[in-house]
Structure 1
């Protein structure tokens, strides 16, 4: 399955995206996490492009999209640009496939335009405080007093060890991970201006936590077709979050996988198979 690597202008910003599959097939809008980009979805582009139209944008400040210093990096702004991106491409109905930061972006899109959401597939993205483990205590301290905690956050947040840990987590199968995954991401993080961009955006992450009750209410009200694919070895997000989604959507399909924060790193064939069955079932 061939993949197209394209760029489109969205309100003055050049937004890079990957695209695969026939344009008249059901669309999957793939929203990536931190510190990755649309590249994390390559395993699905090659496995599901026969039956689906897959579109994976890079957010402003990530991957190959523009990263202007004066953009104002918040999750509201990222969601605004991605929403306009879907309109520019004429995507008026899609399944949201979200991982990590893709969750906050995707839930904002869903709340703004529920009529566009056909289904949701969650991969290690949080919408309940159940998912925030011990690592988040220091991060909450940063939100409470940015000036006092920013230096410590930067020292840890952007280190090569932290970038590797996001992938490998606590997995006993370290040999299954391609080290290019985190060395490539580290190269992006080390670009000029990136640490300022990502620090500003992570400071705004506190608005996601504040929005959890509203997202849960949206899930309960709309009861979308929902699949949760959760990597059990995630060092940051707790496994309890996978089952928390059932409180809002009782018939959600939940699978806990032998994988870490980026489940596609280890289980691409399994995930593609689960998604295909879920998205084609009556």
Structure 2
């Protein structure tokens, strides 16, 4: 949407979302194998992605602050993922994600060209998206505000107040930005 209507973008807030290859952790190797050979890798991806252990891991990552998490977040997600048809839906979405990765260079070019005010908040314990993905935004937008937090992929579960304060401050500064 930003590429189609850059005039509508006043700023960008990114929370553990990649647009650079270096942001994809080693966990993405299994997903890349699936992209390369969906027929042979489908069952392995389904079994892994929809398992309770993998669902829990997506939420906790390597966080040392497990007490900050409500176990309902992953048990509810697991209940959803084990509903009939969900494994197929999720693996189809994962197959389509390769189009995002293919679009990274175009997104990076847009960021370099437009240099929108950018706030990046990133949980350093994210097992899926590496911290290098957060820092990479500065390659495209040198003035990007990048904050590495004591949190995982779902950083809002662990750093709600901190992220809210960063977003409020960023939005307040946007009021003075002519974009």
Residue aligning to 2:112 = 220
Deviations 1:214-234 (A, max 9, x none): 000010111111000000000
Deviations 1:139-189 (A, max 9, x none): 101000001111101110111111111111000111111001111111221
SS of the residue corresponding to residue 228 of structure 1 reads strand
Match of 1:245 among 134, 137, 140: 137
Higher relative contact order (CA 8 A, sep 6+): 2
Quick one: distance in 2 between partners of 1:159 and 1:114? 40
Query: How many angstroms does 1:192 deviate by?
Result: 2.1
- TM-score, normalized by length of structure 2? 0.94
Residue aligning to 1:66 = none
Query: How many angstroms does 1:256 deviate by?
Result: 0.1
2:57 pairs with 1:165: yes
- Correspondence 1:181-192 to 2 at 5 A: 181-192=73-84
Query: How many angstroms does 1:197 deviate by?
Result: 1.1
Query: How many angstroms does 1:191 deviate by?
Result: 2.1
Quick one: distance in 1 between partners of 2:67 and 2:48? 24
SS of the residue corresponding to residue 219 of structure 1 reads helix
2:66 pairs with 1:174: yes
2:44 pairs with 1:134: no
Quick one: distance in 2 between partners of 1:269 and 1:207? 34
Query: How many angstroms does 1:138 deviate by?
Result: 1.3
SS of the residue corresponding to residue 111 of structure 1 reads coil
Quick one: distance in 2 between partners of 1:186 and 1:163? 6
Structure with the bigger percentage of helix: 2
Deviations 1:103-152 (A, max 9, x none): xxxxxx11122122221110000000010121111110100000111110
RMSD, aligned CA: 0.9
2:11 pairs with 1:119: yes
Structure with the bigger percentage of strand: 1
2:155 pairs with 1:263: yes
- TM-score, normalized by length of structure 1? 0.61
Runs of 4+ deviating beyond 2 Å: none
